[in-house]
Amino acid sequence: MPEDLHSRIALKLEAVGPSVSIGLEIKIESYFDVVRGIIDDFASKRRMNCIYITSSVPSATLNSALEALEANTEGLRFIDCVSHTMMGAIHRVDNTVFVENPSMLENIILKVEYFLRLAGDKKTVVVFDSANSFAIHNDPKMLSEFFTIILNSLKAREAYPVVLMIPDQLRVEVKEMLGMVCDVIMPIDEERQP
């Protein structure tokens, strides 16, 4: 097993395979390693597309961070649900669509569908960043319905759905809900323990 976290994440995701919804338990300090692992080590190196739905960090920030890490972002598409809420200047870029706020869950489903249609038959990883920030903006029942619909739809299309979650900061009811809607809950950082 490789030492670095981003490589380990890619191997773990590959072992699980497509059509399985994964709840990826992460720690805040390993956030960028996890993002790099999914986008660069897993999706890019296996020539897959990646749809990254962010409700926590603006897409421009993630783009800059990935650039600094020299990650390949060719097949990366962002659904940015946070930049509009910050009321700052929105930098329109080709690989990004914006949703006004993370509570417009139907619009997020439709934007995912949009990118999947443009991608055609190409395999796709779909990342939800993160369950914590979605839970801040949405009622748990609504969020449960959202994840049930979109994760089932992605599984039916042989995609790789990954929901990022920071378990220590999740309300119990949201944690239980994720346990129900995800097929696998994967605690990544435990891998570091001897």
Which residues are at the interface with other proteins (CB under 8 A)?
100-101, 103-107, 109-111, 113-114, 117-118, 139, 141-142, 144-146, 149
In terms of DSSP bridges, do strands 76-80 and 49-54 run parallel, antiparallel, or are they unpaired?
A: parallel
Q: Report the distance separating Cα 56 and Cα 167, nearest Å.
A: 15
* Minimum distance, C-beta of residue 181 to other proteins, in the bound complex (Å): 13
Number of CB atoms found within 10 A of residue 1's CB: 7
Do 123 and 48 contact (CB within 8 A), yes or no? yes
* Minimum distance, C-beta of residue 65 to other proteins, in the bound complex (Å): 28
Name which of 67 and 100 has its Cβ closer to other proteins: 100
Tokens of 81: 């649900």
CA 12 remoteness from chain centre = 15
* Minimum distance, C-beta of residue 122 to other proteins, in the bound complex (Å): 14
Name which of 37 and 161 has its Cβ closer to other proteins: 161
* Phi, psi at 126, each rounded to 5°: -120, 115
* Minimum distance, C-beta of residue 144 to other proteins, in the bound complex (Å): 7
Name which of 44 and 49 has its Cβ closer to other proteins: 49
Block residue for tokens 């748990």 = 140
Do 50 and 43 contact (CB within 8 A), yes or no? yes
Q: Report the distance separating Cα 156 and Cα 160, nearest Å.
A: 10
* Minimum distance, C-beta of residue 192 to other proteins, in the bound complex (Å): 38
